Amino acid sequence: MPPSRILVIANRTAAGPPLLQAVKERSHESEAIFHLVVPAEPEGLHRVVDPEVAGREAAGARLRHALPLLSEAAAQEVTGQVGDADPLAAACDALYQGGFDEIIISTLPWRVSRWLRVDLPSKLRALGVPVRHVEGSPARTAGQQLAFSVRCLPTGLTDRGVATPRPRDAGPAAAP
C-alpha cells in the first residue's frame, strides 16, 4: 500500500509545537508523505492593492523556517510551497496538483484566528478529504521578539490608577 499523502496548511503556526507534535503523531500512525503549504497573506493595504504579490516573501521565510523542523518531526523530508493568499484557494490548488489523502490545518487560537472566523476547517472538510485541526500559537524565528501586551486605560488614568491632568480647552479666552 502506498504511503498516505498529507497536506499541511499553516502560516504563522507552521513551526509551532502543536503542529510539530501533530505531524510526529501522524507519521507514527502509518507511512505518510507530508507537504506544507504556507498561504501568502498580504497585510495592511496590500490586501487591497496587490494581494497576489504581497506576503510571498514573508510566507517564504516561514516556509524555510518550518521545513527543517517539520522534517525532523516527521523523520523524513517534508516538501513545501508558498500558496495563494486565500488559504482555501491555496488548499484547493495543492489538492488538485498533489492528490492528497488527508489535511492537517494549523490555526492560531480562536480569539485571533481569521481562518477560524471564516470556518476554514469546515470548508476544507467539505472538499471530501479528512481534516485534522491543530490550534497553536505563532512560532518565533530567530530575529523575532516576543509580542508585548497593551493595556487600554480610561482617559485620565495611568496604570497606577492616578488621575493625570487633562489638556485644557484651547478655546478663546473669556473677556474680563
Q: Which helix (H) or strand (E) holds 4?
A: strand 4-9
Instruction: For the chain, give every domain's residue range.
Output: 4-135
What's the CATH code, domain 4-135? 3.40.50.620
Order the strands of the 79-83 sheet from edge to edge.
79-83, 32-39, 4-9, 102-107, 131-135
Q: Strand runs (DSSP E) across 40-123, as ranges? A: 79-83, 102-107
pLDDT digits (tens, 9 = 90+) for 46-104: 445 555 556 788 899 999 999 999 999 999 999 999 999 899 999 999 999 988 999 99
pLDDT digits (tens, 9 = 90+) for 15-27: 999 999 999 999 9
The three grid cell numbers given for residue 55, joined into one nine-digit string: 506576503
Q: How far apart are CA 19 and CA 108, in angstroms?
A: 11
Beta-bridge mates of residue 15? none
Residue pair 147/141 in contact (Cβ under 8 Å)? The answer is: no
pLDDT at site 1: 80
Let me know if 113 is exposed, middle or buried by CB neighbors in 10 A (0-12, 13-18, 19+).
middle
pLDDT-above-90 percentage for the chain = 59
